[in-house]
Structure 1
Amino acid sequence: MADRAYIDEPEELVEFTASTSSSQLPAAVSSIDPLYSSTSSSLTSASNQVLVTAQGEGVQIYSATDSKCLRSWTFPPSVRFACPAKYYAKYTDEGAIGDSLVYVALDSGDGISSKDSGTVVWRWTDRGIVSVGLEDKIEAKLGGSIFALEPGVTSDGHLLVVHKDGALTLATQDLEKRHQLTCPVSGKSEVVWYQIIEVSQSMRLYLDSRQVTDWLDGGCRLALVLTRVADADVDAEFTYHVSLFAIDGAEASIVEVGSTHIKPTHLQTQPLACAFDADTGTVAMLTEAGVYTHFNLLTGVSALDDAIILERTKEVVLRGFVPCVDDDTQGAVLASNLLAQSQLTMTALTERYVAIAGTHSTVSHASKGPYESVLTIWDLQFGCLHAEKTLELASSWLQGASKKHALPRLTYQIQPLSSRLGANGTASEQISLAITVAHTTDTHAALDGSAAVVRAQKSAKKKATGVSWGVKVFVASAFLPPV
């Protein structure tokens, strides 16, 4: 094994077009294999399969080995998804995937009123046969508007629903029994990122040791959630909060461990990407100004501390990545989803390495064009670039809409397809990744902001403006030296 991280040449998995409203995500990928866990990943080839959600099309499973579409569930054009579909893999005694479940939340569809938009979840069974499974589809309304779904968060296969307002719902596989927890952050909060965490012994180094023991004994998992709250006194100012939750499968409940806010001086521009490494308790954020910041997640030690606190430990400027704004005259565009639709995307690979995908200037340390789309691996210990590969896109995708707005109109999503932990519980040295790149020339909230969308809708003299996207999904393998 080499002493430097490297990336295999990214291969195109699929290319398609998607149609959305002016605020919906165009497409996203999810893994088939359970992540952040060593169970099952060594028994199957699930990491070679990708679940693709495409607006205006449906949900498909592709083979990352030969790009074949293995299964496809097509929906009417009226159906729009509120978040990426998620897969709950069920395994036979021999380690093969059996009849498994697919979950997706709907933004719109036949029979779904505007009042229920974003609150309805569909669940169906993947029987391993093309287009079969929708005949036993079940439907349930689960609280407020949904940000994301996370199946299989307990040993009994509970579904975690992360709502846009920061509330959480834990539901059984049949969506019947539910436990709900309201957002612990005061004010009008908005979720922008979350991560499910497997509890490990290493957490004793930065969290309460007795609490970690209880979590291990109880088979709990954790959820780390980043929310944004508007300042009540200053327009366009926001405070970011991090909340930690324990998901108890035995009790089928969710408990808040603690919440804390990030000092505004530590986030002078908004975060575009976020990642958490459970081995070290490191929260990593990359802002629109290209500032990469490390925070240590710790337990509060004094009566004046929050139950959890964030301690800034490192700050590095990653030059050359495209920011959210063209120049000082254009207002910042609020990123509403750092997981599925951001101009930069990041995921933790090990305690030392992260993968970042985004638009990068081809001129070293510059923020102006010409541009290219890249997948990179960064060494967190030294803040240096270890590996970089170009994502091959049409030249038209890498150009701006006009001379005034010269930045490429691209959004990114990066998704690990294989577990970060091997069968023996140690960090994997090879991790499969899927990268989704979406491009549009139409007005969209993720690229232009909500105010621009409203202006476009008024000029079009209609309530909704359709947005057409070109989408490419790439797969690649990252190889990491032992830590």
Structure 2
Amino acid sequence: MPVSVDDPFLLTSYSSTSHRHQKLQAVHCTPEQRNVVQVKSEEEHGSCLLAVAVQGEGVQLFNTADQKCVFSYSAAPGYSFTGSAQTIQKSGKLRHVYAVIAKGTDVPTKEEGKVVWRWVDETSTASDPSILNNNDVIESVRKPSSARKTVHKFESEIYQLFVSSLLPNHAVLVNKDGSLVLVTEDMKRIVSSSKVHSAPGAKANKKDKKDKSTQDRSNTVLWATTYNTTGSWIPTSSLPRETLIVMTVVEPSVETMVITLSYVNKEQRGFTEFGQVELKSTTGSPSFAFDAVTGQFSFLTASGELKIYQVAVDQVDHTLSAIETLTLPLPGYAAISTARTGVDPLLQSVDTIALGDNYLAVAGIHNNNDKPELVLTIWDIQYGTLQAKHLFPGVFSLQNSTCQLALLPGSVLVITISTTINTTVKSDVYLCHFYAEPMSLLGAMGRMKDTTPFLGQSGAIAQDAYTSTTTSLLVPSDTNAIVKGSDLTKGKDEFEKQFEAAQMEEKKVLEALASKSHAGDAQAFEEVFFKYMDQQTAAARDDVLKRHGVSADEVKEAVEATKRRKAETKKLLQQQQSNQKKDDSDQKMEVDNEPAVKDNAVTIQLDKAARKKLKKKEANAAKAASKEATKADNEAGKDGSKKATKASTKKSKPVAKEAANEDGSSSESSSDEDDENQVVVLSSDDENKEEEDETEYKADLEEEHRLEAHRDAVEQWRKIEADAIKNYNEQRRLLAVGRAPIPPPELSHHFVITVISYCFPHLPNGQPDMSFWPSKVIKFMIEHQLVGNANPGAGQAGIALNLMERGQWHLLELAFKKLYDIPEGDMIVMLKQVISLNRKTSISTSARSQNATGISGVVSQSLSSSTTTKSKITSTSIPDIPYFLNLIMTAPRNEIFMQQALKKLTVEELTVVLEILKGWIDIWDVRGGIGHQNQRADKKQLPGGLPGYGIIVDFTTMIMDVHFPLLILSAHLHPVLKSIQTSMQRETQISNELEKALRGPLGLFDRKHKEMIRRKKEFSVAGFASSGNHGIITAAGGVSTDKRRRRKWEGGEGIPDYAVEIIHL
């Protein structure tokens, strides 16, 4: 637990019969201010002085180390003090004590609250170790002190006087009007004073002007304190260290309060205002607290709300701001706060004080079911949870009891309780030690149940979990929470409406379930429950569709379209199969026509070959004509060439035909002809070339058109493909949503606990009440894993043991498969119960047989049934021992806890368990042993109900480890153990032979692998040593592997490397 509180012990008690002090706090306590040297010396001895101002008696100093009064400064019975007395130890033998006189027999009414008494004591300090260890000196010092007392008067009425070790030669007066006065230690000279600063924008309205009581309370100090800036929330860039801060809370109007910070130090010796913050409040705030380290300001309002503000200073312009971080409704303090409105603020029924580390102590009268009680509570103001509570015994009332808190070093609380009984005021001062650790979210969640009563929740269904406070305690108000992708700060109103609607609906369902539970109607209970489950499942389904951005109709249409497409595909396949048969019958007729088809194909191929040969001859003739034309062109002149060109146009065609008909002989005849015939051949080639160019151009144009059409077709096909892929992906997304498993209903923790508590009722004698048993509800909760075994609604026993008590073995089987937190002790308890029930059944069926014979018969029969087919447990049948043992062996467990639980088994029960394990091992031997189990590593149980070989060996090993002495002393178990040993030795021998057979082929690989690991380790170790200045970087860029340097880092600082090998059996 993060916070623990010791029982308070009484320090001192006082009684007074004076009526003059009933409107003031009877006793005020405050620790003494000391310099640094005294603080260190007294902390070593655990001592601390506490100044106790008692109305009508005086001021007393108590040593908290031995709970004894060491100094006393008396006052006449007619005098009373304003607030607590202040003491400061100047040196080893000098102490100043200050007290503000509120009333007195010789103090005029006009001077009440304006008089300060000052005692100067020069006796030995009570914190001196020589005095602490000398009881005689303590007895002499305890007598009334002979210190000199001086009286000083001031102009303004004083709210509180403060002294500090930062200003040892001065004192600070905080007046009721908000002004500050710095005086010397002898109270004779005013060093500096500050005027009253009006709050920014604070104006009294007409209603306040008419209300006389409001006018009397306006611009009055409600609370004040001082602290050092060293180690505080104020950064050093804003104020220097060792500066005294005076913090005052002023109420300028009914609905506002103003926090003012002023500072003073030794160098300046004058008050300077640091900043002001205006907060909204209600009249009559009874108590305030401020944590100087974190800057958290807290106060309890008259309406019973505890408000926490975070005060911060801007780093640029050094302005103050306050952000509300938490608001806790504490209705038990509302009536008390209202009753104290208009009374002196120092008279407090409830007081608060900051303890540091985000903790706040609240002590005072708390109204619990119209019954006042005095209680001390410690709250975590980060998450808003109650961390500790202590109730003070006694009879207390609202109007006649007050409380005041003070904090001492060493985590000690001082609690002062004053109670008026008739004409006597009795005051008790308690010291209470507390221990507080830093708060975590888990620690806050663990205290939610104890927090709810203080938040005004009586524990009823309608109030226990359906307020916005209990659900938002773990989320501070200054942080943004994200729910379903939306910012709560933006849609806060809409979220609150939805949240309240869901809570009200759940509340109605729980009320309906409660009525059906009380009536004992299990069927109606199940109908109401499953109706609500259907609604929650549909809501969860709609939320999934909304997150995916699809509608239910689209998903339904996609699923149905897929089903139709599959049906059409199946029908098409059937048609193809029927057509295939027809094709096989027609194939015989086509075989007879195959020769004619082949002849036609050969003729076509021959025609194509002839055409190719003819084209080749024409090409050769054209080439020969072009060569002759080139020779003639070189020999003939210009004129002759023109005539030859004209003549060539007339004879080009016959010559070309003749060359074609002679089949290649044109080149031989052309050599005997004259030059004129050669020119004619050139003209024929040019004409053929032009025709070929024209033909090629047309072919290229057609090819270009064909490629363009192909590109258009490809582009169109790509568009069709992209649309098809898009539709396919959309269809797949819809199918994924449609085929996804139905999400479980979203149920609150409170709903689950309440329903489970209804499902497991008990009779007044503690026995389970079977008249009301909604088994379907429990099965639904377990099957969907909405509960755990340790659900608080099932009590301390848990769900599994409750099911065993009610004989619901089929649900217990489901619990073993779905619940992962069943304790190992409960598993063994259930195993013992199953063995006992099977033994009774065996004895009843065969009364003549002995107990051992009956057990062996049950075991053999159960083994045969469990290995052939998987046993199915019905709601009334007792499960077989092997099948139930199999459930326990395959369930999640902790090995250490299981070993402790197995110690509960007796010799007879061990006999049954070992016989079952031996039978399973024999079955595996028949199948071929561990090498033939053919199961994956993560598969614990094989089909047929037979556990894996490794699981059997592990469980047998665990039993032998736990019950080894018992097994040795039980002679009737030796045959079973011998049989198990034989099977294990056979498997071990097979494993050893396999290892020897593989050692040769894999030996070289193993050596190379080890060498590589060794080199890698040396390099890493040397590199690690060099990083710690224990190695040397070589010139080649590597790291030296000096043995002396490397030895230090190997094996963890001198510890050699080792390995652990576990050998089962």
TM-score range, shorter chain: 0.7 to 0.9
2:342 aligned with 1:334:
yes
Alpha-carbon distance in 2 for matches of 1:438, 1:116: 27
Pairs aligned (count): 400
Alpha-carbon distance in 1 for matches of 2:296, 2:344: 23
Checking the alignment, whether the CA contact within 8 Å between 1:142 and 1:169 is kept in structure 2 is no
Larger % of helix: which? 2
Alpha-carbon distance in 2 for matches of 1:110, 1:134: 22
Provide Cα deviations, 1:109-150, integer angstroms capped at 9, x if missing partner: 365322221111111123243455555222222331111111
Change in 2 beyond 3 A, CA 1:248/1:335: farther
Change in 2 beyond 3 A, CA 1:38/1:71: closer
2:310 aligned with 1:296:
yes
Q: Percent identity?
A: 23
- 1:17: how far off? 1.7
Amino acid at match of 2:72: S
**Which residue does 1:377 correspond to in 2?**
378
Amino acid at match of 1:101: H
2:261 to 239, 244, 253: 244
1:347 to 350, 353, 367: 353
Residue aligned with 1:165, SS: coil
- 1:408: how far off? 5.6
Amino acid at match of 2:278: H
**Which residue does 2:249 correspond to in 1?**
226
Provide Cα deviations, 1:329-350, integer angstroms capped at 9, x if missing partner: xx7623532xx42111111111
Amino acid at match of 2:349: Q
Amino acid at match of 1:480: A
Residue aligned with 2:110, SS: helix
Checking the alignment, whether the CA contact within 8 Å between 2:307 and 2:324 is kept in structure 1 is yes
Superposition pairs for residues 72-151 of structure 1, below 5 Å? 72-92=72-92, 98-109=93-104, 111-126=106-121, 127-128=123-124, 129-131=141-143, 133-151=145-163
Provide Cα deviations, 1:394-451, integer angstroms capped at 9, x if missing partner: x2xx2x4xxxxxx363111001122xxxxxxxxxxx4111111112257xxxxxxxxx
1:182 to 195, 203, 211: 195
Residue aligned with 2:237, SS: helix
**Which residue does 1:279 correspond to in 2?**
293
Checking the alignment, whether the CA contact within 8 Å between 2:83 and 2:160 is kept in structure 1 is yes
Alpha-carbon distance in 1 for matches of 2:264, 2:344: 25
Alpha-carbon distance in 2 for matches of 1:157, 1:435: 30
Change in 2 beyond 3 A, CA 1:39/1:408: farther
Amino acid at match of 2:110: K
**Which residue does 1:197 correspond to in 2?**
227
Alpha-carbon distance in 2 for matches of 1:480, 1:379: 10
Amino acid at match of 1:351: D
Provide Cα deviations, 1:17-63, integer angstroms capped at 9, x if missing partner: 233345333221111255xx977434215754321111111111223
Checking the alignment, whether the CA contact within 8 Å between 2:167 and 2:265 is kept in structure 1 is no
Alpha-carbon distance in 2 for matches of 1:316, 1:86: 33
2:435 aligned with 1:435:
no
Provide Cα deviations, 1:197-225, integer angstroms capped at 9, x if missing partner: 21135535xx6x5322xx22xx3111111
Checking the alignment, whether the CA contact within 8 Å between 2:98 and 2:118 is kept in structure 1 is yes
**Which residue does 1:312 correspond to in 2?**
324
Change in 2 beyond 3 A, CA 1:351/1:132: same
Amino acid at match of 2:344: S
Amino acid at match of 1:368: D
**Which residue does 1:451 correspond to in 2?**
none
**Which residue does 1:323 correspond to in 2?**
335
Checking the alignment, whether the CA contact within 8 Å between 2:286 and 2:340 is kept in structure 1 is no
Change in 2 beyond 3 A, CA 1:472/1:315: same
Alpha-carbon distance in 1 for matches of 2:148, 2:23: 30
Alpha-carbon distance in 2 for matches of 1:380, 1:38: 31
- 1:88: how far off? 0.7
Change in 2 beyond 3 A, CA 1:6/1:176: same
Alpha-carbon distance in 1 for matches of 2:101, 2:340: 29
Checking the alignment, whether the CA contact within 8 Å between 1:324 and 1:332 is kept in structure 2 is yes
Change in 2 beyond 3 A, CA 1:164/1:272: same
**Which residue does 1:158 correspond to in 2?**
170
- 1:253: how far off? 1.2
Change in 2 beyond 3 A, CA 1:123/1:196: same
Alpha-carbon distance in 2 for matches of 1:332, 1:48: 33
Change in 2 beyond 3 A, CA 1:133/1:167: farther
2:403 aligned with 1:412:
yes
Change in 2 beyond 3 A, CA 1:150/1:39: farther
- 1:157: how far off? 3.6
Checking the alignment, whether the CA contact within 8 Å between 1:33 and 1:47 is kept in structure 2 is no
Checking the alignment, whether the CA contact within 8 Å between 1:260 and 1:310 is kept in structure 2 is yes
Provide Cα deviations, 1:221-271, integer angstroms capped at 9, x if missing partner: 1111111124xxxxxx343111011122222211111223213xxx34642
Amino acid at match of 2:79: V
Alpha-carbon distance in 2 for matches of 1:341, 1:41: 31
**Which residue does 2:436 correspond to in 1?**
480
Larger % of strand: which? 1
* Bigger Rg over Cα: 2
1:14 to 7, 12, 15: 12
**Which residue does 2:425 correspond to in 1?**
469
- 1:174: how far off? 1.2
- 1:91: how far off? 4.2
Amino acid at match of 1:313: T
Provide Cα deviations, 1:266-290, integer angstroms capped at 9, x if missing partner: x346422211112222111122333
Amino acid at match of 2:237: R
Checking the alignment, whether the CA contact within 8 Å between 1:47 and 1:417 is kept in structure 2 is no
Checking the alignment, whether the CA contact within 8 Å between 2:407 and 2:414 is kept in structure 1 is yes
Change in 2 beyond 3 A, CA 1:50/1:302: closer
TM-score by length of 1: 0.75
Change in 2 beyond 3 A, CA 1:309/1:102: same
Checking the alignment, whether the CA contact within 8 Å between 1:373 and 1:390 is kept in structure 2 is yes
Provide Cα deviations, 1:88-124, integer angstroms capped at 9, x if missing partner: 12344xxxxx321110011233653222211111111
2:41 aligned with 1:56:
no
Alpha-carbon distance in 1 for matches of 2:231, 2:10: 38
Change in 2 beyond 3 A, CA 1:348/1:53: same
Residue aligned with 1:358, SS: strand
TM-score by length of 2: 0.35
- 1:471: how far off? 1.1
Change in 2 beyond 3 A, CA 1:247/1:123: same
Question: Unaligned stretches of 5+ in structure 2?
Answer: 125-140, 204-217, 440-1065
2:237 aligned with 1:210:
yes
Checking the alignment, whether the CA contact within 8 Å between 1:200 and 1:279 is kept in structure 2 is no
Checking the alignment, whether the CA contact within 8 Å between 1:149 and 1:162 is kept in structure 2 is yes
**Which residue does 1:254 correspond to in 2?**
271
Change in 2 beyond 3 A, CA 1:482/1:324: closer
Change in 2 beyond 3 A, CA 1:110/1:296: same
Amino acid at match of 2:347: Q
Amino acid at match of 1:169: V
1:368 to 370, 377, 393: 370
Provide Cα deviations, 1:362-384, integer angstroms capped at 9, x if missing partner: xxxx4521x32122211111111
Alpha-carbon distance in 1 for matches of 2:373, 2:23: 25
Change in 2 beyond 3 A, CA 1:13/1:223: same
Residue aligned with 1:56, SS: coil
Residue aligned with 1:323, SS: helix
2:389 aligned with 1:388:
yes
Checking the alignment, whether the CA contact within 8 Å between 1:322 and 1:358 is kept in structure 2 is no
